[in-house]
Amino acid sequence: MYAIGVNLDLTNIIAGVVDESGTILSKESIPTLRYRPVSEIMSDLAVLVKRVAFAAGVDFDTEIDHVGIGTYGTIDRRSGTLIYSSHFGFRDVPLLAEIKKHISIPVYIENDANCYALAESRWGSTKGYKNSVIVTLGTAISGGIMVNKEVYHGAFFGAGELGHHVIVMDGEKCDCGRCGCWAAYASSTALVRDARIAAIRHPESEMFRMVNGDLRLMSYRIPFEAAKKGDVYAAEIVHMFKRYVALGLINIVNILQPDAIAIGGKLRKIGHEFIDDVAALVYEKAFGQQENANTKVMLASMDYDAVIIGAAMLQAWKEE
Amino acid sequence: MYAIGVNLDLTNIIAGVVDESGTILSKESIPTLRYRPVSEIMSDLAVLVKRVAFAAGVDFDTEIDHVGIGTYGTIDRRSGTLIYSSHFGFRDVPLLAEIKKHISIPVYIENDANCYALAESRWGSTKGYKNSVIVTLGTAISGGIMVNKEVYHGAFFGAGELGHHVIVMDGEKCDCGRCGCWAAYASSTALVRDARIAAIRHPESEMFRMVNGDLRLMSYRIPFEAAKKGDVYAAEIVHMFKRYVALGLINIVNILQPDAIAIGGKLRKIGHEFIDDVAALVYEKAFGQQENANTKVMLASMDYDAVIIGAAMLQAWKEE
């Protein structure tokens, strides 16, 4: 048997047929067009999962055990309701009920970062660790917490909102409406903001030159590349960015002390050197560090395909 | 059968005979005199537990099942080693081996805040909740995290160092050596510091008058009392203190979303009005709050006796 995992994100709906070893056999995507009614999005999603099964040469009705969907926001795993999503702007949307109008096999819905954590814990960087955390660093910051190798959901399925813990009281405005959140410092959005500000202040900088003065072209890669070329302003941006990322990780260590934290998401592409520097800061600064007994900080093994793979691993909700 | 619970803190060693309903039958204490060798402290502790059994009219050898010790720092529950304690200044001290020189019945050792959380979870404010957190607000801030009604220890017994998660990057110096920790803002030590600074700046304040200009006499109660008398500077201190306490709690909710957080420790004595104001801030500001589905913020039921009661509840370590 196979399962289909779906990553329903803000831009695209990506579905994959996943086998029992966590391998994606076939993958298809369509744009989310998220400002449409949820019923339309779910109707399209239902067509997509059937199409991807066909593309993989798998019979949807007889060879697909279930469909799992990972999406952005707080998901009630029992009822398949999207309780709250700041980016979708949804509250109490019955996703499962909508999709069940189109699909008769079982469908399970879970927060996307929890799917990511599940996939990494089973087949990726955090495999074998009892307690682990996945942090997805991208335009936002999400997190999935594994306790005893199970997703930890918290009281109302809202645990793991790591990006919205505050590291600078009354600091930078966050898109959640509060101030000083980790995501307002350590997301790619924050990095781009800081790089733009530095480029405005220092038109002599390599960063400014690299975007030809058009700040719309600034990306999270530019400060890293400019720093390598010797741009002192970019070096400072990168230095502070590493400190911001590390600080949130230190807080997670001091509160939860998992066996391992893996960094996934878009910023994972910056690579090992970046994570090694961040890890060194965590090892140095976290509370009560001991030799050979520190939370490991590492790159996640997978990119956002982990959401598809984790979603495909979802099972019927059992009361925790 | 009974058990003896011991709170080995920086100032006193307090032992109590505890029955199976969590009631302390008899309690005795001696000063810790913490700069002595550990062997002397443990030798005195062994005498104390026998004395308190005698005082309760209980035969130590036949009616006491075990001794549990709650103490400050990171405790390896398997080996009974105090791995790290910033305040005791200890590293890798074999507490259990020392006490076993004097006591033949089983002895278990655990972090004091974890004992507090265990006692509250079994008989106190967080009874019945699956996932809960105890925060002890005192001269420092400690925490105990309960997941599935069990103490969550983290990878190396260092979870729950809630006081040392950072809320203001590069902020106030903390006694752990780092900067900006929650404890550097929301402990009684921090409150007294802020009240002293305000009293120095404003000798016309009620706070200054209440200590007769002798800032050594400043206590955590004074800004609360002065604010009630209409001191605007004290009101500002109290206002900010509530925000500091709330911010750390919000971070805990956004990361862990427990069913309930209870505030214990010395500052618990400030009472319900204080906690209600803090709780209102948490309910307002934590991420994705829903009606009737928020982490409850409440006063702990017990004072530091909870450490004694929780220590008495310790059992032989089973690999988690």
Q: What pLDDT is attached to residue B90? A: 74
| The CATH number of the domain covering residues in B2-119+305-312 | 3.30.420.40
CA-to-CA distance for A50 and A61, rounded, in angstroms? 9
Question: Left if phi > 0, otherwise alpha if psi is -120 to 50, otherwise beta: which for B286?
Answer: beta
Tokens of B193: 């510091």
Domain residue limits, chain B: 2-119+305-312, 128-299
Picking from B74, B83, B156 by the largest number of A CB atoms within 10 A of its own CB, the best residue to mutate is: B156
B128-299 CATH choice from 3.40.190.80, 3.90.950.20, 3.30.420.40, 3.40.50.300: 3.30.420.40
- The yes-or-no verdict on residue B288 having pLDDT over 80 is no
Q: What pLDDT is attached to residue B320? A: 61
- The yes-or-no verdict on residue A34 having pLDDT over 70 is yes
| Contacts with A261 from chain B: Cβ below 8 Å | none
Question: How confident is the model over A110-147, as pLDDT tens digits?
Answer: 999 999 999 999 999 999 999 999 999 999 999 999 99
ipTM, two decimals, is: 0.93
Q: What pLDDT is attached to residue B291? A: 65
Q: What pLDDT is attached to residue A85? A: 80
Is B288's Cβ below 8 Å from some Cβ in A?
yes
Average pLDDT of the residues in A190-217: 97
Tally the C-alpha atoms within 13 A of residue B162's C-alpha that lie toward its C-beta.
31
Residue pair B264/B82 in contact by the 8 Å Cβ criterion: no
CA-to-CA distance for B298 and B195, rounded, in angstroms? 25
**Common-topology check for domains A2-119+305-312 and A128-299:** yes
Q: What is the mean pLDDT of chain A?
A: 95
Question: How confident is the model over B48-102, as pLDDT tens digits?
Answer: 999 999 999 999 999 999 999 999 989 999 999 998 887 777 778 999 999 999 9
Q: Judge: A254–B83 Cβ closer than 8 Å, yes or no.
A: no
pTM recorded for the entire structure: 0.94
| Contacts with A154 from chain B: Cβ below 8 Å | 131, 256-258
Question: How confident is the model over A247-301, as pLDDT tens digits?
Answer: 999 999 999 999 999 999 999 999 899 999 999 999 998 987 776 678 999 999 9
DSSP characters over B157-189: S-TT-GGGSBSBTT-SB-TTSSBSBTHHHHSHH
Residue A110's DSSP bridge partners are A70
Q: Judge: A155–B258 Cβ closer than 8 Å, yes or no.
A: yes
